[in-house]
A and B are shown apart, each in its own frame.
Chain A
Amino acid sequence: MAELLILLTIGLPWLGALFCWAAGDRHPRLQHGLAVAFSLAAGIAALLLIPFGKDQVLITLSVGGAFGNFTFSPDGLGVFLAAVATVIGSLAVIFSVDYMRSEDQLGRYYAFVLFFIGAMVGLVLTTNLLLMFAFWEITALTSYALISFHNDDLKAVAGGIKALIITQFGGLGLLIGALVLFANTGSYDILTIIANPGILPAGALAWMAFGCLAAGAAKSAQFPFQTWLPDAMEAPTPVSALIHAATMVNAGVYLLARFFPAFEGVPGWREAVMAVGMLSALLAAVMAIFATDLKRVLAYSTVSQLGYMVYAVGAGGIFAAQFHLLSHSVFKALLFLGAGAVIHSVGTRDMRQMGGLGKNMPFVRLVFVIGALALAGLPVLNGFWSKELILEAGLAHGNPLWMLFVMLVVSGLTAFYSFRMVWLVFYGQPRAELHAHDAGPAMKVALAPLAIGTLTTWLLAGSFSRLLSESLPAHQIAAHSTGEILLEVLTAPITLIALLVIALGLVCWWQRDRLAGVKRALTGLQITATNSFGFEAVNRAVVLGAQNSAEKLRSTQTGVLGWNVAYLVIALIGVLAILLLGVGLP
């Protein structure tokens, strides 16, 4: 049964991708219908899979040789993320029915969205590191294809290629990890290495650990690879919600959490993970404060929230990280889709032109505010509970307190930019003549469950902890009931402190006119932040460097026959010299 469900969850979206593509762009209604049907079916299959969560390999496809065996196992981490991917995936597809109504080339759009959903499920359910890397790359491929879906727009193309190249560059870390594992153990099996990291020599394990950190950071848009995510906002908004907020960017966190038992003993690894998370959370939050593009604010906040999760993994709070991942997937998908409804309605992403939209879009305002409050970490929304758990994890294990302090500050910043965003879009006086209308029916169908989820998913804490604890023995996650977890959060002193900081953030926005002096003092910071703290300059330098050296190298192709012959003679002399002088006779 579970075997069949695994195959269905991966296979159905892929089959759907094929059908949507084959249906042809002359039948948009059929394409919408097929996409919704297949993604919903996959979602149901994934939900049915949850009760089967355990750490056993259920499917083994024997490929052999350098490729190992393709294995799949539905453990807690896997089924939970598979469910998130397919459920939010189907909501994004439903949302697209309205959002993409008048678009061309729907076949390509749905094919890649569905291809992505299947690949994401495969990525979290497989226990073969080669296969994981392959799925990892497929998600990168689909992400690239969807970011530059509007190929005529040069910005979209550039954003897509940037995302592809940066995640691939980081992905080399995972490649190295997988190769190290195979070279030392002759297999790609993840469960073995997690259960018994000692089978790798310490040096090899360190290479693997830091390689995975690089890969995870690139995928989850963490420091120092964070720059691709804001540019990825050129994608159609449902794609941003699905891939760049709720699912693919979580793959990095998933990778680190998955391998935590194997890598926690590597000297410096946990500290490095915490530092990456903390820096990402801080830098992105500051950038979110100054950004004016609605989707970019959301993108920065995604980087920042992912930073929380990465920090939590480093701090040893696997449960906290995964629980926040769940909350974040729901409320951030909600925020993105809500933003999509706004953008679809008014035709701009610039918040400076919005304002007062709430009057005409009451439904969207309602759900967006719910999402924003969860992002800010206000009780009793899901974001509150999971964020508090992360901060608590920061206290444990003798983790450095100054990092925890930074994370607390970031939660204040988060509250600040959340309120700013809501205010600029929905409240105040309209700043431009925009004709807003409320969300369409399919959009509402997608938004409502997410809003309800934002209000309620924290109630799942108990069963979620039981699922992880039972199916991930190596992670040593303790099972608690929901009541216990909630009580623990409510009685922890750090919760109070965090709430005070969040309130402070709120007050700062409220009293922003009185803080004009502070704002002036921060002009320098604003300029640095809008210039992405110099990371974009580094990116540009790398690209320019490659292009310039390529252009210079091209002059070696002279087109003159005499030179071509000369190269040949020089090469002959060179090889002779190397052989006779250098490596020579044995």
Chain B
Amino acid sequence: MTISIPTAVLIIVLGLVGIGIYALLTTRHLIKVIVALQLLVKGAMLALVLAGHLTGQDDLGQSLAITVIIADTIVAVIGMALAVQVRRVVGTLDLRSLTSLRR
């Protein structure tokens, strides 16, 4: 059985998104949360490239992906900056200590 490249990419996309969401739901470490977000965005980005390929507009798909990378990098930077501050102010990166805002 052979798997076509688009199918393989699709599986990777679904895998990345699935792992990302699973990680978001279960992890208790702030850095891991940011990594999970990265996985998710990479999956979505791959989906855009795939979409461009499937519709015969490879260049458009890739330019979308590059834009997403830029935006996503900024998100990661802000996320890491927040993490640094959290570590400084709260003293830990454990999400269980970030539950003061309730009810």
**B101 contacts the other chain (CB 8 A):** yes
* Alpha-carbon gap, A27 to B7, bound state (A): 83
In the complex, are the beta carbons of B21 and A569 less than 8 A apart?
A: yes
In the complex, are the beta carbons of A558 and B102 less than 8 A apart?
A: yes
CB distance from B11 to the nearest CB of A (A): 20
**A267 contacts the other chain (CB 8 A):** no
Q: Which residues of A contact B21 (CB under 8 A)?
A: 565, 569
Q: Which residues of A contact B24 (CB under 8 A)?
A: 561-562, 565
Of all chain A residues, which has the CB nearest B33?
A561
Question: Pick the contact of B99 from A554, A555, A560, A565 — CB < 8 Å?
Answer: A560
* Alpha-carbon gap, A566 to B101, bound state (A): 17
**B25 contacts the other chain (CB 8 A):** yes
In the complex, are the beta carbons of B101 and A559 less than 8 A apart?
A: yes
| Beta-carbon contacts under 8 Å, A548-586 to B | 554-555, 557-562, 565-566, 569
Q: Which residues of A contact B4 (CB under 8 A)?
A: none
Residue from A554, A555, A557, A560 whose CB has the most chain B CB atoms within 10 Å: A560
* Alpha-carbon gap, A560 to B24, bound state (A): 11
Known A561-B95, A561-B98, A562-B95; contact A569-B25, beta-carbon cutoff 8 A = yes
Q: Which residues of B contact A560 (CB under 8 A)?
A: 95, 99
CB distance from A563 to the nearest CB of B (A): 9
* Alpha-carbon gap, A443 to B42, bound state (A): 81
- Decide if the interface of chain B is mainly helix, strand, loop or mixed: loop
* Alpha-carbon gap, A558 to B100, bound state (A): 9
In the complex, are the beta carbons of A559 and B102 less than 8 A apart?
A: yes
Q: What sequence of 0s and 1s flags, for each residue 72-103 of chain B, a beta carbon within 8 Å of any chain A beta carbon?
A: 00000000000000000000000100111111
CB distance from A495 to the nearest CB of B (A): 65
Q: Which residues of B contact A558 (CB under 8 A)?
A: 99, 102
Count contacts on B: residues with CB < 8 A to the other chain: 14
CB distance from A124 to the nearest CB of B (A): 47
Q: What sequence of 0s and 1s flags, for each residue 516-559 of chain A, a beta carbon within 8 Å of any chain B beta carbon?
A: 00000000000000000000000000000000000000110111
In the complex, are the beta carbons of A566 and B100 less than 8 A apart?
A: no
Q: Which residues of B contact A566 (CB under 8 A)?
A: 25
CB distance from A243 to the nearest CB of B (A): 39
In the complex, are the beta carbons of A559 and B99 less than 8 A apart?
A: yes
A-B pair count, CB < 8 Å, reads: 29
CB distance from B53 to the nearest CB of A (A): 25
* Alpha-carbon gap, A98 to B84, bound state (A): 67
Q: Which residues of A contact B95 (CB under 8 A)?
A: 560-562
**B55 contacts the other chain (CB 8 A):** no
Q: Which residues of B contact A561 (CB under 8 A)?
A: 24, 33, 95, 98
CB distance from A575 to the nearest CB of B (A): 16
Of all chain A residues, which has the CB nearest B36?
A565
* Alpha-carbon gap, A153 to B74, bound state (A): 54
In the complex, are the beta carbons of B25 and A557 less than 8 A apart?
A: no
Residue from A558, A561, A569 whose CB has the most chain B CB atoms within 10 Å: A561
* Alpha-carbon gap, A559 to B27, bound state (A): 15
**B2 contacts the other chain (CB 8 A):** no
* Alpha-carbon gap, A555 to B99, bound state (A): 13
Of all chain A residues, which has the CB nearest B30?
A561
* Alpha-carbon gap, A391 to B48, bound state (A): 82
* Alpha-carbon gap, A558 to B26, bound state (A): 15
In the complex, are the beta carbons of A562 and B25 less than 8 A apart?
A: yes
CB distance from A274 to the nearest CB of B (A): 49
In the complex, are the beta carbons of A555 and B103 less than 8 A apart?
A: yes
CB distance from B82 to the nearest CB of A (A): 12
Of all chain A residues, which has the CB nearest B95?
A561
CB distance from B16 to the nearest CB of A (A): 16
Of all chain B residues, which has the CB nearest A558?
B102
Q: Which residues of A contact B26 (CB under 8 A)?
A: 562
In the complex, are the beta carbons of B100 and A559 less than 8 A apart?
A: yes
Q: Which residues of B contact A555 (CB under 8 A)?
A: 103
Q: What sequence of 0s and 1s flags, for each residue 18-47 of chain B, a beta carbon within 8 Å of any chain A beta carbon?
A: 000100111110000100000000000000
In the complex, are the beta carbons of A554 and B103 less than 8 A apart?
A: yes
Question: Pick the contact of A557 from B28, B33, B102 — CB < 8 Å?
Answer: B102
Q: Which residues of B contact A562 (CB under 8 A)?
A: 24-28, 95
CB distance from B97 to the nearest CB of A (A): 11
* Alpha-carbon gap, A561 to B94, bound state (A): 11
* Alpha-carbon gap, A97 to B26, bound state (A): 69
Q: Which residues of B contact A559 (CB under 8 A)?
A: 99-103
In the complex, are the beta carbons of A557 and B98 less than 8 A apart?
A: no
Q: Which residues of A contact B101 (CB under 8 A)?
A: 559
In the complex, are the beta carbons of A565 and B25 less than 8 A apart?
A: yes
Q: Which residues of A contact B25 (CB under 8 A)?
A: 562, 565-566, 569
Q: Which residues of B contact A569 (CB under 8 A)?
A: 21, 25
In the complex, are the beta carbons of A557 and B103 less than 8 A apart?
A: yes
* Alpha-carbon gap, A554 to B101, bound state (A): 12
* Alpha-carbon gap, A566 to B25, bound state (A): 6
CB distance from B98 to the nearest CB of A (A): 7
CB distance from A206 to the nearest CB of B (A): 44
CB distance from A228 to the nearest CB of B (A): 31
* Alpha-carbon gap, A565 to B40, bound state (A): 13
* Alpha-carbon gap, A555 to B102, bound state (A): 8
* Alpha-carbon gap, A123 to B26, bound state (A): 60
CB distance from A164 to the nearest CB of B (A): 26
Of all chain A residues, which has the CB nearest B99?
A559
Of all chain A residues, which has the CB nearest B102?
A559
Of all chain B residues, which has the CB nearest A560?
B99
CB distance from A558 to the nearest CB of B (A): 6
CB distance from B37 to the nearest CB of A (A): 11
* Alpha-carbon gap, A170 to B18, bound state (A): 51
10 new A-B contacts, CB < 8 A, other than A559-B103, A562-B95, A569-B25, are A555-B103, A558-B99, A559-B99, A559-B102, A561-B98, A562-B24, A562-B25, A562-B27, A565-B21, A569-B21
24 pairs from A and B in contact (CB 8 Å cutoff): A554-B103, A555-B103, A557-B102, A558-B99, A559-B100, A559-B101, A559-B102, A559-B103, A560-B95, A561-B24, A561-B33, A561-B95, A561-B98, A562-B24, A562-B25, A562-B26, A562-B27, A562-B28, A562-B95, A565-B21, A565-B24, A566-B25, A569-B21, A569-B25
* Chain A residues engaging chain B, CB cutoff 8 angstroms: 554-555, 557-562, 565-566, 569
Q: 3 smallest A-B Cβ distances: which pairs?
A: A559-B102, A559-B99, A554-B103
